[in-house]
Amino acid sequence: MTLGQAIRTFREKRGLSLRALARAVGLSAPFLSDLEHDRRNTDKLPAIARALGVRARELERHSGHVDRATLRWLRAHPDVVAMLRARARR
């Protein structure tokens, strides 16, 4: 599930319209629509998470970003990265 799909799923579960969520977090409805369609990124994930009643970490895990600790670990283990890349190519 992508970040946009996660936002939309949580929004629909809460019964919020796109406009209501956008208003709650200070975004325009078209911008939020772009987020839900994975055409944009935002630094407002914590505010979106609060409005959706979920932890920010729940949204962040769908963002495709790697936290700093994981990034350091991956840099220290390039063999694992190589294995994952080979696996993804298959």
- Given the candidates 3.30.420.40, 1.10.30.50, 1.10.260.40, 3.30.70.2190, the CATH classification of the domain at 3-65 is 1.10.260.40
Instruction: Give the span between the Cα atoms of 49 and 39, in whole angstroms.
Output: 19
pLDDT tier, 70 (very low <50, low <70, confident <90, very high otherwise)? confident
Q: What is the pLDDT of residue 71?
A: 81
86: Cα within 13 Å, side-chain hemisphere: 6
Query: Which residue has better confidence, 52 or 74?
Result: 52
pTM for the complete prediction? 0.72
**Is the CB of residue 26 less than 8 Å from the CB of residue 47?**
yes
Dihedral angle computed from the Cα positions of residues 71, 73, 75 and 81, in that order, rounded to the nearest 10 degrees: -90
Where are the alpha helices (H) located in 15-67, listed in sequence order? 18-25, 29-36, 45-52, 56-60
